Chains A and B, each alone.
Chain A
Amino acid sequence: MPLLAFLLAFMVLPIGGMLRLAISNGELGSAMPATTEALRAWDGQGVPPEAVVAGFAAELRAAREARALGPVAQRLNNAHPGDRSLVQGAARRLPDEPDGDWRATLAGIDEAWGEPRIWRSLQAASAPWTDLYLLQALDLERDADGDIASVRDDRAIYRSILGRTFLISLVVTLACLAIGYPLAYKLASLPPRIANPLTILVLLPFWTSLLVRSAAWIVVLQREGPINEALLALGIVDEPVQLVFNRIGVYIAMTHVLLPFMVLPLLSVMRSIPPSHMRAALSLGATPLEAFVRVYLPQTRAGIGAGCLLVFILAIGYYITPALVGGAADQMISYFVAFFTIQTVNWGMAAALGSILLAATLVLYLIYARLVGIDRLRLG
């Protein structure tokens, strides 16, 4: 199976590697092996003994000379913002010989070195694996006693990002259902001669480049765009409405992008329902609404489930459309994965957020596979 080997090498392995990054903790170990050993054995009370601190000072200088200090400073900064300058500053101002003992010397450079907190951070960084990033991604941290606790409210951001991602996905899914259901119903009830060209019309956006559609929505929804001009001309509003670079724009553009994924499964289910069922219900005395709710709707449940799951799965991982059409407050998890990967180089955090997203997707996918079966995954 060459494809299996290929995918394992270029798809599964990279993702596995990313998951490992979410808990990997090797920075300190590779730059300061002796200190790492010593800190693992330390009991974590107060400031470590002089021998450990002296070893740390020696390795700090060596790491600075070998230009290997960057990752360590980054790692400490990830856990406790501000530690980067603390470590870099200490390395820069470290004297060749201690002024008395190393503990006092370091504390003389910055008081923080005289306090247990930084040493405990170093000890945490010396463990082979860490739950730091995964906890951070859920706005949790380990407090001074090593117990898991919520972070202070002013630093808690990730839970609201997760919540926002789910909210946007949910709204988009419901909007797709509300729009896609009548559309699929109409397509299913039309004769093939008319329905086929119309189905192509549904598929056309599906085949148009994502960027083209995002750009198009920016143009359509902008302050001077056709929608605002039409609204102004009709006298519905007095001044242009802000429709893009905010939540409304994200909802509209994402619904448009994902609608085909809702319509196609619905359509395949609805085409299999004989129209005689509805006619039978009507002739037996049901009102049209009753007939629809009690006869038609239950038969389309499988299609609704498949479409909603598919749209939701795709929506929670979306990056391009919200990044282009949304404002700063509308970005979803994906945006932050990209942000931590490319901009702040906090790979552990990127990987942790990615793992959460991946876990959510896989759970939904398993439900989908159970409900619909992966063999039924069709493309138009």
Chain B
Amino acid sequence: MAVPTYAGPLERTWYYAFRFICALIFFFLIAPILVVVPLSFNAEPYFTFTREMLTFDPDGYSLRWYRDFWTSDSWMSSIRNSFLIATGATVVATVLGTLAALGLSRSHMPFRATIMGILISPMIVPLIISAAGMFFFYSRIGLAQTYLGIILAHAALGTPFVVITVTATLSGFDYSLTRAAANLGADPTTTFFKVTMPLILPGVISGALFAFITSLDEVVIVLFLASVEQRTIPREMWSGIREAISPTILAVATILITISVLLLVSLEFLRRRNERLRGIRE
């Protein structure tokens, strides 16, 4: 929307002022990221831009914090833990969430609103409450400080995302397709894997991505439930920030930012594919 030709000087000024305000807001949104990425290549153990960096002198930049990260045992074990827990939680959340969404999409489901409310409650209840509740409960049944406990807790947090995304995909689902498959002699399992699954796959995958990233980024539950052995990347960052903040954290942050950009782009791709498949044009 450009300025109309009939606009007066005041409107013109306002238009450009507004544009400037929006640019400022965008800057605010991405500023921290813009600062963290270059600083992670700092050759000095400081958190400020050195003179060498500002003049783009190659000596001012280095990969030493990435080497630090790569050679540190605690960071490496935290990566293993993070991916182990996130993968486990994603599998549990995706399977259960997809089944639940399929069940909920049937129109004759009783107490639909109540069930939906419970299913997405992990997203609404403050994390600290879930974490404290799980801490009390898991300590009693011996799941605290185990991988299984954390995986189950993260799976519970991830399910709402799967339920929501799969439900959204199912809203455009044509049920005559499954009836047609059954009519042609496919048993329910074959129908599910050959007909339903390929169609709702984008929703399932984006839900799984949400669940994965939720687990990967989660620190409160890990703080309560994990022992030193199960420390994840965010947990390691948490102590890094609280105790001695070193530029290694910025290197880790840059890597995580890269991962989230990749995930975001793939999600956007999935969304477009889904819309194209369903014949929705923008």
Q: Is the CB of A379 within 8 A of B282?
A: no
A209-B253, A211-B241, A357-B129 known; A10-B224 Cβ under 8 A: no
User: Are B26 and A201 neighbours in the complex by a CB distance under 8 Å?
Assistant: yes
Q: Is the CB of A11 within 8 A of B122?
A: yes
Whether a CB of chain B sits under 8 angstroms from the CB of A213 is yes
Residue of A nearest to B124 (CB): A365
Name A275's contact: one of B1, B122, B264 (CB within 8 Å). Answer: B1
User: What's the minimum C-beta distance from B269 to chain A, rounded to whole angstroms?
Assistant: 11
Question: Which of chain A's residues have a CB closer than 8 A to the CB of B216?
Answer: 209
Stretch at the interface among B29-37, B65-73, B187-195: B29-37
| Interface bits A11-31 vs B (CB < 8 Å: 1, else 0) | 111111110010000000000
Would you call the interface of chain A mostly helix, strand, loop, or mixed? helix
B256 at the interface (CB under 8 A from A): yes
Question: Are B21's CB and A182's CB within 8 A?
Answer: yes
Contact of B75 with A by CB under 8 A? no
B153 proximal to A (CB < 8 A): yes
B137 located at the interface, meaning its Cβ lies under 8 Å from any Cβ of chain A in the complex: yes
Query: Is A268 close to B, CB under 8 A?
Result: no
Residue B219 at the A interface, CB < 8 A?
A: yes
B86 in the interface, Cβ–Cβ < 8 Å? no
Complex contacts, B245 vs chain A, CB 8 Å: 215, 218
Q: Say yes or no: B132 contacts A338, CB within 8 Å.
A: yes
Contact A215 B249 (CB under 8 A): yes
Q: How far is the CA of A378 from the CA of B48 in the complex (A)?
A: 39
Chain B: CB-nearest residue to A189: B1
Contact with A along B1-15 (1 / 0, CB 8 A): 100000000010010
* Given known A14-B130, A341-B135, contact A358–B117 (CB-CB < 8 A): no
Stretch of A36-44, A86-94, A222-230 lying at the B interface: A222-230
Interface core residue of A3, A10, A365, A369 (most chain B CB under 10 Å): A3
Residues of chain A with a CB closer than 8 A to B22's CB: 182-183, 186
Least Cβ distance of A137 to chain B in Å?
14
Verify A14–B241 contact, CB threshold 8 A.
no
Cβ contact within 8 Å between B29 and A14? no
Task: Choose among B26, B47, B136 the residue that contacts A222 (Cβ–Cβ < 8 A).
Answer: B47
Known contacts A15-B125, A378-B164: does B100 contact A220 (CB below 8 Å)? no
Q: Does B238 contact A (CB under 8 A)?
A: yes
Selected from A1, A226, A362, A377, the residue in CB contact (under 8 A) with B164 is A377
Quote the shortest CB–CB distance from B103 to chain A (angstroms): 6
Provided the pairs A207-B260, A288-B11 are in contact, do residues A3 and B96 lie with their beta carbons within 8 angstroms?
yes
**Which residue of the partner chain A has the closest CB to B209?**
A207
Of the candidates A11, A203, A357, the one whose C-beta lies within 8 Å of that of B128 is: A357
Assess whether A215 is in contact with B36, with CB atoms less than 8 Å apart. Answer: yes
The one of B14, B49, B253 in contact with A215, judged by C-beta atoms closer than 8 angstroms, is B253
Compute how far the CA of A347 lies from the CA of B133 in the bound complex, rounded to whole angstroms. Answer: 10
Tell me the chain B residues, 88-145 only, with Cβ under 8 Å from chain A: 92, 96-97, 99-100, 103, 113, 115-138, 140
- A200 x B223 contact (CB < 8 A): no
The reply to whether A215 and B29 form a contact with Cβ atoms under 8 Å apart is: no
A210 in complex: contacting residue of B39, B165, B217, B264, CB < 8 Å: B217
B-chain residues with CB within 8 Å of residue A256 when the two chains form the complex:
28-29, 32
> Which of A's residues lie within 8 Å of B, judged by CB?
1-4, 6-8, 10-18, 21, 179, 182-183, 186, 189-190, 192, 198, 200-205, 207-220, 222, 224-226, 229, 256, 259, 275, 288, 313, 316-320, 324, 334, 337-338, 341-342, 347, 350-351, 354, 357-358, 361-362, 365, 369, 374-375, 377-380
If A6-B96, A18-B132, A208-B257 are given as contacts, then 12 extra A-B residue pairs at C-beta distance below 8 Å, sorted by A number, are: A3-B99, A3-B163, A7-B159, A8-B118, A10-B152, A14-B138, A16-B133, A205-B33, A211-B241, A220-B35, A256-B32, A318-B126
Question: Can you list 26 A-B contacts (CB < 8 A)?
Answer: A1-B100, A6-B155, A10-B156, A14-B136, A179-B25, A182-B18, A201-B29, A202-B29, A205-B32, A207-B213, A209-B216, A209-B217, A209-B257, A211-B237, A212-B36, A219-B32, A224-B47, A256-B28, A288-B11, A317-B129, A342-B223, A342-B224, A357-B129, A358-B129, A365-B124, A374-B117
